[in-house]
Amino acid sequence: MLKKRYLLIACFFWMLFSCENDVLITFSETNITSENNRIVDVNIPLASQNTSAAKSINSAIEGYVIKTLQIREPNVANLESVKGSIDSFNNEYTDFIAQFPESAHSWEAQIDGEVIFKTPDIICVSLTSYTNTGGAHGVLNISFLNFEAATGKLIDTPKLFIDIEGFKAIAKKHFEASVKDKDLLFSSDNFQLPKNIGYSDDGIILLYNTYEIAPHSAGIIEFSIPFEDAKSYLVFNSF
């Protein structure tokens, strides 16, 4: 009888754990600011569930925002929270104006995000940041964060592929077709995959940020590879 009771308890916890992992994570757009904020606008998707997977995803997204707003060395700025980093960015601007009151440059930071792909296996979040701290022009950056849907674990780009060299060969053909009229910092013979690769409704999206492979005038270079062409190289292909 006692053994049967332990078996029932074990089954209950197994079912509870399984149900938690089977819940498809939902997101809500969240605006984050602080009381004294004047120059930072943050609008990011955060997972709504109170599960370990959702918390892991939110931690990675918030970490991106915190890093983007980093001006000084990591041991100086507030890296505890997004609100703390917003305050630090504002304080840095206040200090700048105090030192250079004649400066006509104003600072700003805009960070936006959206979920661009979601299945029971993988979730891809796109985060776009624009920061200007008084230079000739601001810095625009787009990053893709890929997550295991069941665990919320961030997936390193190489782990998206079964055969990354095979995918690279396919990607090179699509890359060459997309940059025919652009000036590059390297020959297509030395083709390298970008830092940012993600999933989208159009297929696997590859994105080179400004200066990554081309002059500033070329801007961001982005192209997609249809799932039909890429699926044999992908770890996650339930689309």
Question: DSSP string spanning 2-51?
Answer: HHHHHHHHHHHHHHHHHHHHHSPP-EEEEEE--TT-SSEEEEEEEE-S-S
Query: Quick one: pLDDT at residue 115?
Result: 98
What is the per-residue pLDDT for 217? 62
Considering the domain boundaries, does residue 10 fall inside one? no
Domain-ending residue, one of 135, 155, 175: 155
Q: Are 79 and 51 found together in one domain? A: yes
110 within a domain of the structure (yes/no) = yes
Strand order in the sheet with 122-132: 27-32, 40-47, 108-118, 122-132, 139-148
Q: Which pLDDT tens digit goes with each residue over 3-45?
A: 445 444 444 444 444 444 455 899 999 999 999 899 999 999 9
Question: What pLDDT, on a 0 to 100 scale, did the predictor assign at position 212?
Answer: 77
pLDDT at 132 (0 to 100) = 94
Contacts of 155 (CB under 8 A, 6+ apart): 122, 146, 147, 148
Residues 104 and 189 in one domain: no
Listed residues 122, 155, 188: the one ending a domain: 155
* Residues 81, 101 within the same domain: yes
Domain closes at, from 155, 174, 191: 155
Single-letter residue type at 173 = K
Residues 143 and 26 in one domain: yes
Question: Where is 84: in which H helix or E strand?
Answer: helix 82-99
How much of the chain, in percent, has pLDDT values that exceed 90?
66
- Shared domain for 165 and 149, answered yes or no, is no
- Return the pLDDT at 184: 61
- What is the per-residue pLDDT across 184-201, written as a single tens digit (0 to 9) for each? 655 667 788 999 999 999
The model's confidence at residue 74, banded by pLDDT at 50, 70 and 90, is low
**CATH number assigned to the domain comprising residue 205:** 3.90.640.20
Predicted confidence (pLDDT) per residue in 114-132, tens digit:
999 999 999 999 999 999 9
- Per-residue pLDDT at 153 exceeds 60: yes
The answer to whether position 216 is within a domain reads yes
The number of distinct structural domains making up the chain is 2
Q: What letter would DSSP give residue 239?
A: -
Judgement on whether residues 220 and 141 belong to the same structural domain of the protein: no
**Domain shared by 205 and 127, yes or no:** no
Q: Are residues 162 and 191 in the same domain?
A: yes
Q: Are residues 68 and 150 in the same domain?
A: yes
pLDDT, mean of residues 207-223: 79
Report pLDDT for 24: 81
Parent domain of 62: 20-155
Distance of CA 90 to the CA centre of its chain: 23
Residue range 204-224: mean pLDDT, rounded: 83
The reported pTM is 0.85
64 and 74 co-located in one domain: yes
Check residue 232 and give its pLDDT: 95
